[in-house]
Amino acid sequence: MKILVIEDFELLRESIAQGLRENGYAVDTAPDGEQGLWLARSPGYDAIILDLMLPRIDGLTLLGTLRAEGCRTHVLVLTARDGVDDRIRGLDAGADDYLVKPFVFAELLARVRALVRRRYDAKSPVIQVRDLELDTAARVVRRAGETIELSAREYALLEFLAHRANQVVTRSEVWQHIYEFNSAAESNVVDVYIGHLRRKIEREGLPRLIHTRRGHGYVLGDEP
Amino acid sequence: MIRSLQARLFLGASAVAALALASAALAIYFSVRAALLAEFDGTLLASARGVASIIEQNDGRIVVELDPSMLPEFARAEHPDYFVVWSSAGTVVGQSPSAAGTALLHKPHPAREQQGFFIDLPGGRRGRGRLLRFIARTEQEEQQGLPASRGPTLTLLLARETAPVNRALGRLAWLLAGVSIATTLLSGTLMALVVRRGVRPVTALAAGIAAVRPQDLASRLDLPGAPQELRPIIDRLNDLLERIDAAFSREKSFSADVAHELRTPLAGLEAALEVCAMRPREPEAYQQTITRCLLTIRTMHAMVEKLLLLSRLESQQIPVRSEPVHLAALLQETFAPLAERARERRLDVRVQIPPDLVVRTDPSHLQIILHNLMENAVCYTNEGGSIRAGASARESQVTVQIANTGCSLSAEDVEKAFQRFWRADDARSQANLHAGLGLSLARRVAEVLSGSLTARSIDGEFEVTLVLPWGNPPVLPFPHDFRAAPHADRAAPGLHAPAG
């Protein structure tokens, strides 16, 4: 899952990005409203963390513009202003959640997870696909009761497929949601990771979960 | 001293009215009296002429043919008239029966001849007399109706009681007094009402002012139909309310701004440390986190110190000294800690300050100003750009200017730069997190020194001008210590004067 962090104070921006990455997210960052708006318009972000006090274009304006353009990405607004009026203004401008600085990082993570769930219309942190179980809060994968060890990238890919269970996911969609903007990865890396996942998840005797749809993409779930 | 405006107005107006009425009454009384007396004197004269016409001279003898029936007024017992006639020698040659044997027979002083005069009449009565000089007619002249032609001059005194006139005047006096008093009382009552109505706008204004509470400073005094004398007061009060209101909102937003400004670096610190602690890391990673956090903490520290200083300056807790300060030396000393940073950014720093320029001011305050200005210049000048510092003295002022290239501020942003916490967009995400307090602090300190600080942006250059009062410092030799005390040589590196 990919997050966009728009925050002008460097130490905070880089710490949030590092924390999110170490928790399995792909993270793009922007230090001002102008770059933030430009990045936000590209597809693939599962949530946006937006600071309200930004240079160039301020946060509320950016948010208003995005919403006016029809962007449906969930936005969590970060700000040092905790007045009720500011909260109301942020939410009314189109934000989905609000966090006051300074905050406990664990709370930011939990809210991001909630926004991602909302993005995929999942109510529970646990995703069940046939006999495959993903606990998105604990980042634990089990199949038929057995825990499966996955690398961070593998887990990210699987989580994305699981959120889109039984839907065809194109390679470019995977790319957008799992890889950062300035990623140096090669274009066939998605296929490579699908291969890794298959090796870890598919078992003899257990039904196939990851299917390839030639010319379209991949599906996690029942045989199409 | 009477305190009430109403009472003062009322008493003053009443006193004026009473005085005016009294004066008018007196004027009326005396003019009526004069008229009555003039008329009385006229009748006296007429009567005197009448008496003179019945006095004949026969061969040098004066005969007074007084027929009681003809002139009964001279003989009656009740309130008679009187006449006495004297020859030019002063002897009495005739008199009315009423005047016989009385003090009237003494001839009055000749100076009284042209007018009527008051005279004491027999029986203790008060009267008025008139003298007439005439020549008696002869019998022939009388029979022929001719006036007297020649003969000895006689003096006739005619006197009459003035009781009727006095009675009339007495009545008039009472009438005038009565009317004056009544009018004064009546007008006094009306005056009280008029004064109260007139003073009402003032009491209304006082009530309006009393109704303003600290919580609703947004309200303004409104007195429709207020008299023009009160309008300046109302306008000024509203003006003051506006300023207080503005000051309070600035205060409120300042507190909010401070909280915000400190929260952002705190959030950065918290996030950095939390993330760092989330999993075990290499020593280098910890080192890096520690270093970045320390940098942020130092920035916050500097911000807090500036805020504290600003607050102390606002409440005037810091005493201001007055000493001779050598500007060139002070600038060198201030620049020294920034020299390295300037070198890193390859800045060209030029100083043009007359070596003997001394200003009488507080050296540490001035140092704060110069430090903030130079720090701004060193941080915001474009890399490879230049900074120039200059100073001059003129009449009663010393002007210090510091300019740097690489400024992209618009004209309106230049004035905003003096607001607390304001930073140009580009400055906000820098790792050293400039607080945006430098110019605001410098200006405040300049004001404390009775000076001013202004800035402008011209052709991409940011120029700050500090003006300080000269302070009449003594002329001193070029120092090595900016405090101008005789010290040993001290080399101050970092700045060089331009060639020529």
| Nearest chain B Cα distance for residue A104, angstroms | 7
d(CA B103, CA B396): 96
Three-state SS for A5?
Answer: strand
Indicate the residue of A22, A81, A83 with minimum beta-carbon distance to B279. A22
Determine whether the interchain pair B269/A11 forms a contact, defined as Cβ–Cβ distance below 8 Å. Answer: yes
Amino acid at residue number B245: D
The answer on pLDDT for A118 being more than 80 is yes
d(CA A72, CA A44): 11
d(CA B169, CA B171): 5
Give the number of other Cβ atoms within 10 Å of residue B181's Cβ. 14
Residues 28-47 of A with CB under 8 A from B: 31-32
Q: Say if residues B143 and B120 touch (Cβ distance below 8 Å).
A: no
CA B189, B192, B195, B201: dihedral to nearest 10 degrees? Answer: -120
Q: Are strands B117-121 and B125-135 parallel, antiparallel or unpaired?
A: antiparallel
How buried is residue A220: exposed, middle or buried, by Cβ count under 10 Å (0-12/13-18/19+)?
buried
Helix axes B231-277, B283-314, angle to 10 degrees: 160
d(CA A55, CA A33): 6
Find, among B479, B485, B486, the residue nearest to B353 by Cα. Answer: B479
Comparing A161-165, A186-190, B215-219, which segment has the lowest mean pLDDT? Answer: B215-219
- Distance from chain centroid for Cα B260: 46
**Cα atoms found within 13 Å of the Cα of residue B360, Cβ hemisphere only:** 9
pLDDT bracket for residue A95 (50, 70, 90): very high
Residue labelled with tokens 């400004």? B261
Q: What is the pLDDT of residue B494?
A: 40
Determine whether the interchain pair A8/B429 forms a contact, defined as Cβ–Cβ distance below 8 Å. Answer: yes
d(CA B73, CA B87): 23
Which chain A positions have a beta carbon within 8 Å of B292's beta carbon?
11
Determine whether the interchain pair A56/B425 forms a contact, defined as Cβ–Cβ distance below 8 Å. Answer: yes
Please report, for residues A44, A140, A141, B361, the alpha-carbon distance to residue A151 in angstroms, rounded to integers and kept in the order given.
21, 11, 11, 68
Determine whether the interchain pair B268/A80 forms a contact, defined as Cβ–Cβ distance below 8 Å. Answer: no
**Cα atoms found within 13 Å of the Cα of residue B240, Cβ hemisphere only:** 9
The answer on pLDDT for A152 being more than 50 is yes
Say if A106 is an interface residue toward chain B (CB within 8 Å).
Answer: yes
Say if A64 is an interface residue toward chain B (CB within 8 Å).
Answer: no
How buried is residue B207: exposed, middle or buried, by Cβ count under 10 Å (0-12/13-18/19+)?
exposed
For residue A172, give every residue at least 6 positions away whose Cβ sits within 8 Å of its Cβ, in sequence order, or none.
Answer: none
Which chain A positions have a beta carbon within 8 Å of B259's beta carbon?
80
Three-state SS for A108?
Answer: helix
Q: What is the pLDDT of residue B425?
A: 62
| Nearest chain A Cα distance for residue B271, angstroms | 6
Determine the residue of chain B that is closest to A19 in CA distance.
B275
Q: What is the pLDDT of residue B223?
A: 76
The answer on pLDDT for A110 being more than 90 is yes
Three-state SS for A90?
Answer: helix
d(CA B77, CA B97): 10
CA B399, B404, B405, B406: dihedral to nearest 10 degrees? Answer: -130
What ipTM was estimated for this complex? Answer: 0.86
Q: What is the pLDDT of residue B304?
A: 86
d(CA A209, CA A196): 14
Q: Are strands B323-326 and B358-361 parallel, antiparallel or unpaired?
A: antiparallel
Find, among B299, B367, B362, the residue nearest to B332 by Cα. Answer: B367
Find, among B321, B381, B376, B322, the residue nearest to B347 by Cα. Answer: B381
Which chain B positions have a beta carbon within 8 Å of A32's beta carbon?
425, 429
d(CA B266, CA B258): 12
Say if A22 is an interface residue toward chain B (CB within 8 Å).
Answer: yes
CA B379, B381, B386, B390: dihedral to nearest 10 degrees? Answer: -70
Q: What is the pLDDT of residue B431?
A: 43
d(CA B7, CA B426): 68
How buried is residue B189: exposed, middle or buried, by Cβ count under 10 Å (0-12/13-18/19+)?
exposed
For residue B473, give every residue at least 6 positions away whose Cβ sits within 8 Å of its Cβ, in sequence order, or none.
Answer: B324, B325, B358, B359, B360
d(CA B387, CA B346): 11
The answer on pLDDT for A202 being more than 80 is yes
How buried is residue A190: exposed, middle or buried, by Cβ count under 10 Å (0-12/13-18/19+)?
buried
Q: What is the pLDDT of residue B482?
A: 46
For residue A12, give every residue at least 6 positions away whose Cβ sits within 8 Å of its Cβ, in sequence order, or none.
Answer: A101, B264, B267, B268, B271, B272
| Nearest chain B Cα distance for residue A24, angstroms | 13
3-class DSSP string for chain B: CCCCHHHHHHHHHHHHHHHHHHHHHHHHHHHHHHHHHHHHHHHHHHHHHHHHHCEEEECCEEEECCCCCCCHHHCCCCCCCEEEEECCCCCEEEECHHHCCCHHHCCCCHHHCCCCEEEEEHHHEEEEEEEEEEECEEHHHHHCCCCCCCCCEEEEEEEEECHHHHHHHHHHHHHHHHHHHHHHHHHHHHHHHHHHHHHHHHHHHHHHHHHCCHHHCCCCCCCCCCCCCCHHHHHHHHHHHHHHHHHHHHHHHHHHHHHHHHHHHHHHHHHHHHHHHCCCCCHHHHHHHHHHHHHHHHHHHHHHHHHHHHHHHHCCCCCCCCEEEEHHHHHHHHHHHHHHHHHHCCCEEEEECCCCCEEEECHHHHHHHHHHHHHHHHHHCCCCCEEEEEEEEECCEEEEEEEECCCCCCHHHHHHCCCCCCCCHHHHCCCCCCCCCHHHHHHHHHHHCCCEEEEEEECCEEEEEEEEECCCCCCCCCCCCCCCCCCCCCCCCCCCCCCC
Indicate the residue of A15, A31, A104 with minimum beta-carbon distance to B272. A15
Q: What is the pLDDT of residue B8?
A: 87
- Distance from chain centroid for Cα B290: 65
What the block records as the tokens of B246 is: 């503005």
Q: Are strands B452-458 and B461-469 parallel, antiparallel or unpaired?
A: antiparallel
Q: Are strands B137-138 and B323-326 parallel, antiparallel or unpaired?
A: unpaired
pLDDT average per 10 residues of sequence, chain B (500 residues)? 81 89 92 92 89 78 69 77 84 81 75 79 85 82 77 85 89 92 88 87 85 77 80 87 79 73 89 94 95 90 84 75 88 88 88 86 90 88 88 86 85 80 61 69 87 88 89 53 41 40
Element (H, E) at A91: helix A84-92
Q: Say if residues B424 and B407 touch (Cβ distance below 8 Å).
A: no
Determine whether the interchain pair B428/A55 forms a contact, defined as Cβ–Cβ distance below 8 Å. Answer: yes
The answer on pLDDT for A48 being more than 70 is yes
